[in-house]
Structure 1
């Protein structure tokens, strides 16, 4: 019997979307307390399987380290959920009694979520918890190379959530997975929003769906070590970040830019911390693992250790080496080390001063669709301010490991497994994406100023609600004059306290 997986996937996508839109109508009636109770139950259940899921995903994808994947799984189930509990996403989420305004959180509806091969479990958990917290239904399209671990994670989440009162169909996933089925999900009339994380090949399809898109990609982010930095600490931060899960964290550094006057000190610190400086011949051999001669990427090298990469490239490195360094002079389209390498490999650039370093960082940020994350290690607040004001980037991290600072572990940014890349125009936000990005905010404003007349000469504003409306009919010219007068008087009334 011949089975057409594309047709099966498309049909399943339609069924999931139709079920989800009906289920979400029920979910939209849930209070925040009821949603929070489900989030807590799901997080507890997944935390109990965090170790097994980490091992499963590392074995299935053959990338990263299961120990680091376990750390991410636990981070999502504990620190992230603790922060979630501080948020209100549905119902009254903010109120100003003095101004008589109120914000009402409203779920966007049905969300379609694409998950990456790099962090399949932790990202899946995070997206499911976000949807639950904000009262949205969510349909997953698993990455084909991580379908086993993603589907296993989702089965656990669905079972726990539905046992805790979640309407059936609020969380589901596509099977079999195909590009056609995923496109059907994104284009379905029931879909309100699309989340694409670490699947750049599907970004164009997501954008042509006409739906709002949250894009969380990786970045070609540099780390600048400025002359006033604590060099030893900066190097330790960079290495701990870039070797975490073998370099696949979305905000992890892809290159180092160094102030020339401290370049030798930085090189020495890198060597002391088990970094290996490759020769040009070794750089060429390693680049051949990542890219074909036409510049297209090869599969199967993301998240491999430094030892494995060197062995495959045909050169030897010391047994303690954890990071490979390629010294470069220019950012160029034909140079593989100007591109993002989701592995423990860093390019190193030396610049005369922070102004030249600034330009180099901009080149790197704009080189490959990204403008994602930039790190600066510096003790000079003036330089830090200039970087913050001028860089075309979603997030600037200061004196912290990028992988951990970006996800909110070592900074007070919102703890998130989805780091928006919106500064490059690929999505609707460059935030650390949270449940608040999955709601509409309905504004409620009570009338607090009244008008006695619309005749134009005199408009009186009262700090109370109006008792009556203007009673006589106005000509078009009278209305235009009155509106201008109203706006003028309103501006005066609103600005008056600031001028006292």
Structure 2
């Protein structure tokens, strides 16, 4: 249990954050907010610090790999800075003479952010930059294994703050050792809660009494149809599935392949380092992946050689193997391969045709991952539209490496983010990528304008023609 002094320490941190935010907001300019965001961004992007953060993240969490962490820290932050460059988050942001409404940007106050061990530097940095850009202070609650990387990131940010005269209290974290009680107190005393990570944390956020933004579970399912460029699809899937050892919630977890191209696609996967495990051997993989019914931590986000050894496949797959594709047909709680695996393992389903593939994908996402995203490799764009009208998802990612595309890319129009809202399907309050607009609120100055009152006939004439008065 936490001693009362532990919660008092949280109250003190939150009070300091609130005072720092008020001073940050008083007499603020857009330049002040922009400089603060730039300071936080450079703290993680400066190459030597980026590498140090990546190395510490892998060392302390045991998840992912250093080169990909470096790439993620750099590209996610660079993309975010591109997205917010020139965006007005201070003063008048909209003045509509027709409606007589002027909108004034206002900070929310103190943001409380719960961040995961899978991205212990990139996700906090993303939240911090968005918060500062909009005039807020922020207090982070990292997962226990993410504490060292988060602490290092904050030290780098504070060093940048010293260069431009900003208060360290604008960016703080819950002191170690973390606890549910400490995090709960932070959630309850923040002005807005942002949660990325376990669904238990998301549920706690939505019930803490503070306005909250949480994101849903990932379990990305990707359809490959008979019109797809199979080699391109296999290359993109392999790059995405293996990036940072599948730590991303946007990493492919299930591939649904139309029968007409199934064998050819399996061959294309093999050329990209995807080793096939036939359905007859799938039970053996399940037993290794979920011993005693729980996901095996020895395989979570590990390199290919570790994954192969833990699965008992040493000497049974090519030396060039980068990930494992396991044939299966089952979906639901009794078929764990249909869920998220957080490893270099993907489930492989065979479908008679595109309609059958759509049905399989829908059932997988209804089991786990509803709202998050679905991928499609195709030469027929109308099929993407079909999925967008049928599947319970907020994103249909077309002909792209999924984990690079879903959170924003330089080659698509989604905002850069590490937190994807999943709408009501995923039990979330947002259905878009978390971005700067969620860290700001507005005051509207409303003026009188000439009356715009319609007649009853203008509104109901068409209805009366059908139904009568």
1:219 — aligned with what?
218
Q: Specify whether residues 223 and 34 from structure 1 end up closer, same or farther in structure 2 by C-alpha distance, changes over 3 A only.
A: same
Q: Does 1:441 align with 2:439?
A: no
Alpha-carbon distance between aligned partners in 1 of 2:243 and 2:168, rounded to the nearest angstrom: 37
What secondary structure, in the 3-state scheme, does the structure 1 residue paired with 2:64 have? coil
1:327 — aligned with what?
327
Mean alpha-carbon deviation: is it higher for 178-187 or for 216-225? 216-225
1:242 — aligned with what?
241
CA contact (8 A) 2:371 2:426 kept: no
* Cα drift, residue 386 of structure 1: 0.8
Select the residue among 283, 297, 314 that pairs with 2:295: 297
1:38 — aligned with what?
36
State the Cα deviation string for residues 75-110 of structure 1 (Å, max 9, x = none).
133232122113222322223345443222222221
Q: Does 1:47 align with 2:45?
A: yes
Alpha-carbon distance between aligned partners in 1 of 2:285 and 2:448, rounded to the nearest angstrom: 67
Q: Specify whether residues 116 and 206 from structure 1 end up closer, same or farther in structure 2 by C-alpha distance, changes over 3 A only.
A: same
Moved over 6 A (4+): 489-492
CA contact (8 A) 2:40 2:128 kept: no
2:467 — aligned with what?
none
User: How do 1:77-116 residues align onto structure 2 when only pairs under 5 Å count?
Assistant: 77-116=77-116
Q: Does 1:286 align with 2:285?
A: yes
1:198 — aligned with what?
197
Alpha-carbon distance between aligned partners in 2 of 1:262 and 1:77, rounded to the nearest angstrom: 38
What secondary structure, in the 3-state scheme, does the structure 2 residue paired with 1:128 have? helix
1:306 — aligned with what?
304
Mean alpha-carbon deviation: is it higher for 332-341 or for 197-206? 197-206
State the Cα deviation string for residues 168-225 of structure 1 (Å, max 9, x = none).
422111112111100111122xx12111112323222212202222223441110111
Alpha-carbon distance between aligned partners in 1 of 2:280 and 2:354, rounded to the nearest angstrom: 30
User: How do 1:16-165 residues align onto structure 2 when only pairs under 5 Å count?
Assistant: 16-29=13-26, 30-48=28-46, 49-165=49-165
* Cα drift, residue 308 of structure 1: 0.7
Select the residue among 6, 21, 31 that pairs with 1:9: 6
2:386 — aligned with what?
386
Alpha-carbon distance between aligned partners in 1 of 2:152 and 2:277, rounded to the nearest angstrom: 41
State the Cα deviation string for residues 350-409 of structure 1 (Å, max 9, x = none).
111211111111111121254211111112122111111222112111110100111212
Count of aligned pairs between the two proteins: 452
CA contact (8 A) 2:107 2:439 kept: yes
TM-score (norm 1): 0.85
CA contact (8 A) 2:370 2:426 kept: no
Q: Specify whether residues 289 and 28 from structure 1 end up closer, same or farther in structure 2 by C-alpha distance, changes over 3 A only.
A: farther
State the Cα deviation string for residues 305-344 of structure 1 (Å, max 9, x = none).
2321121232223221001011111213211201101111
What secondary structure, in the 3-state scheme, does the structure 2 residue paired with 1:348 have? strand
1:471 — aligned with what?
none
Alpha-carbon distance between aligned partners in 1 of 2:440 and 2:251, rounded to the nearest angstrom: 29
Alpha-carbon distance between aligned partners in 2 of 1:140 and 1:281, rounded to the nearest angstrom: 46
Mean alpha-carbon deviation: is it higher for 310-319 or for 247-256? 310-319
Alpha-carbon distance between aligned partners in 2 of 1:252 and 1:405, rounded to the nearest angstrom: 10
Q: Which runs of 5+ in 2 are unaligned?
A: 460-469
TM-score (norm 2): 0.91
What secondary structure, in the 3-state scheme, does the structure 1 residue paired with 2:302 have? coil
- Rg comparison, structure with higher value: 1
Alpha-carbon distance between aligned partners in 1 of 2:281 and 2:86, rounded to the nearest angstrom: 50
1:477 — aligned with what?
none
Alpha-carbon distance between aligned partners in 2 of 1:100 and 1:389, rounded to the nearest angstrom: 37
Q: Specify whether residues 8 and 426 from structure 1 end up closer, same or farther in structure 2 by C-alpha distance, changes over 3 A only.
A: farther
CA contact (8 A) 1:329 1:350 kept: yes
Alpha-carbon distance between aligned partners in 2 of 1:95 and 1:362, rounded to the nearest angstrom: 43
Q: Which runs of 5+ in 1 are unaligned?
A: 451-460, 462-485, 493-500
What secondary structure, in the 3-state scheme, does the structure 2 residue paired with 1:254 have? strand
State the Cα deviation string for residues 409-459 of structure 1 (Å, max 9, x = none).
242211112222334343211211111111113233332205xxxxxxxxx
* Cα drift, residue 33 of structure 1: 1.7
2:208 — aligned with what?
209
Alpha-carbon distance between aligned partners in 2 of 1:425 and 1:491, rounded to the nearest angstrom: 40
Alpha-carbon distance between aligned partners in 1 of 2:108 and 2:428, rounded to the nearest angstrom: 16
Alpha-carbon distance between aligned partners in 2 of 1:331 and 1:164, rounded to the nearest angstrom: 54
* Cα drift, residue 156 of structure 1: 1.4
Q: Does 1:488 align with 2:455?
A: yes
What secondary structure, in the 3-state scheme, does the structure 1 residue paired with 2:331 have? coil
* Cα drift, residue 257 of structure 1: 0.7
RMSD: 2.1
1:315 — aligned with what?
313
What secondary structure, in the 3-state scheme, does the structure 2 residue paired with 1:55 have? helix
Mean alpha-carbon deviation: is it higher for 334-343 or for 406-415? 406-415
CA contact (8 A) 1:64 1:245 kept: yes
CA contact (8 A) 1:392 1:423 kept: no
Mean alpha-carbon deviation: is it higher for 76-85 or for 57-66? 76-85
1:182 — aligned with what?
183
2:258 — aligned with what?
259
CA contact (8 A) 1:221 1:373 kept: yes
